[in-house]
Amino acid sequence: MNLRDLHEKARRSLDPVHYDYVAGGAGEERVVADNERAFDRYALLPRVLCGGERRDTAADLPGAPGASPVFVAPTAFHRLLHPGGEPATARAAAAEGAVLVTGTASTTPVAEVVAAARSRDREAAVWFQLTAHPRREATRALVRRAEDAGCTALVVTVDSPVFGRHTRDLRNGFTDLPPGHAAENMRDLPGAPPGALTDIPMSPAVSWADVDDLVRRTALPVLLKGILHPADARLAVEHGAAGVLVSNHGGRQSDAVPAALDCLPAVADAVAGRVPVLLDGGVRRGSDVAVALALGARAVGVGRPAVWGLAAEGEAGVRRVLAALRDEYDHTLALCGGRRNSDLTRDMVVRKGGTW
Ligand SMILES: Cc1cc2nc3c(=O)[nH]c(=O)nc-3n(C[C@H](O)[C@H](O)[C@H](O)COP(=O)(O)O)c2cc1C
Ligand SMILES: CC(C)CC(=O)C(=O)O
């Protein structure tokens, strides 16, 4: 199955304004394009005669031992894109053994998302993506909702002190959710009535002190999403993060940053194995998963591909995307002579065009 076919099917089935919301990014969308293109700059240099019949592609992640190496990155407003909404995504991820990172901007309350995942697999791991609220009490209430729901980790988005300027949304005038949809996790939070995109307020004041506060208050592992600079990766570990997610928000925040993949090796070096490093942005094939793992990621997230699957075919579509990526990755691993993810090492990734 080609993921491009599902993308095309999703494009045909979605309201063009909602399609643009998902596909688009900040500015001239240079980073959106570069995230994918970055993978084309590399090739895999296989090892041969490694002698092993079985492969194990499971990845040990915080709050998710033995997970698929491909997780579902947090994306907003699933009910806008398919009536099955986040529960459909959650059931699909659970059925495929993939972590779902469910979002602050979910159109289904987090407790229902986790319940849907657990209806497929009692052990399913759902992580909660947290957008810190300008009011600390509101942030704390969100965290409590995620904890009470049974989420097994928090993923704090740190690349969004302000909204990204999504060019297509500005052009289309897409600022509010249509009637009947709401950011359900925001209900009854102090000062945050649901009903509009702008009701996921961002806070330019968020700082490392907020990370410290969070790490102190929750028993859940706290990962930081949106780290690009190796110095921030080092700080993340020092401040008690249980993982670092290298991401430029799928090119939806700054249009002047490097491709996520291009930031990965330096971040992996800075973290030096102390906590898992994850990556999202531009992952579209099993060989992309392999390149990212070889360059230091423990697992990779997919944002748009999962949404295209959902929009095109609901739960079954998300399953197809996750199954295809995992299967292609497993096949690539075999062709590289690997038996487990850690067999992929940095020397097996080369720049295309030769190094001489
Ligand atoms: C429609 C859409 C909504 C998103 N919403 C969020 C969000 O609410 N919070 C967040 O941290 N990231 C959000 N992201 C970013 C994704 O988590 C992820 O970083 C990005 O999509 C990865 O790139 P990819 O789409 O190329 O896989 C969103 C991305 C998309 C496409
Ligand atoms: C509602 C927004 C916070 C969702 C988002 O992060 C995005 O669209 O990239």
pLDDT given at position 308? 98
Distance of CA 144 to the CA centre of its chain: 22
Q: Do the beta carbons of residue 241 and residue 211 sit within 8 Å?
A: yes
Mutate to test the pocket of ligand 2, among 22, 75, 158 (most ligand atoms within 8 A of CB): 75
* Residue 351 zone, left/alpha/beta (φ > 0; ψ -120 to 50; rest): beta
pLDDT given at position 198? 64
Q: Is 78 a catalytic residue?
A: no
d(CA 101, CA 236): 19
Using the mean position of ligand 1's atoms as its centre, give its distance from the Cα of residue 331 in Å: 27
Using the mean position of ligand 1's atoms as its centre, give its distance from the Cα of residue 339 in Å: 31
Mean pLDDT score of the chain, rounded to an integer? Answer: 95
Burial 261-297 (b: 16+ CB within 10 A, else e): bbbbbbbbebbeeebbbbbbbbbbbbbbbbbbbbbbb
Q: Whose CA is nearest to atom 14 of ligand 1?
A: 75
pLDDT given at position 137? 92
Tell me if 76 is assigned to a ligand binding site. Answer: yes
DSSP string spanning 210-251? HHHHHHHH-SS-EEEEEE-SHHHHHHHHHTT-SEEEE--GGG
Tell me if 21 is assigned to a ligand binding site. Answer: yes
pLDDT given at position 272? 98
Residue ranges of the chain with per-residue pLDDT less than 50: none
Distance from the first to the final alpha carbon of the chain: 36
pLDDT given at position 193? 62
pLDDT given at position 356? 63
Q: Where are the domains of the chain?
A: 3-350
Question: Which ligand ends up closest to the CA of 226?
Answer: 1
Q: Does domain 3-350 have CATH number 3.50.50.60?
A: no
Query: Which pLDDT tens digit goes with each residue over 146-158?
Result: 999 999 999 999 9
